[in-house]
Structure 1
Amino acid sequence: MYVIMVYDVNVKRVNKVLKISRKYLNWTIRSVLEGFLTKESYESLKRELLKVIDEKEDSVYFYLIDTDRQPHKIVLGEVRTDFKFIG
Structure 2
Amino acid sequence: MDVLLFGVTRDIVGKGTLSLPSSESVRLNTVGDLKGHLVGKYPGLRDLGSLAVAVNQMYAKDDDPIGETDEIAIIPPVSGG
Question: TM bucket by the smaller chain?
Answer: 0.3 to 0.5
Q: If the length of structure 2 is used for normalisation, what is the TM-score?
A: 0.37
With the length of structure 1 as denominator, give the TM-score of the two structures: 0.35
Comparing both chains, which one has the higher relative contact order based on Cα–Cα distances under 8 Å and sequence gaps of 6 or more?
2
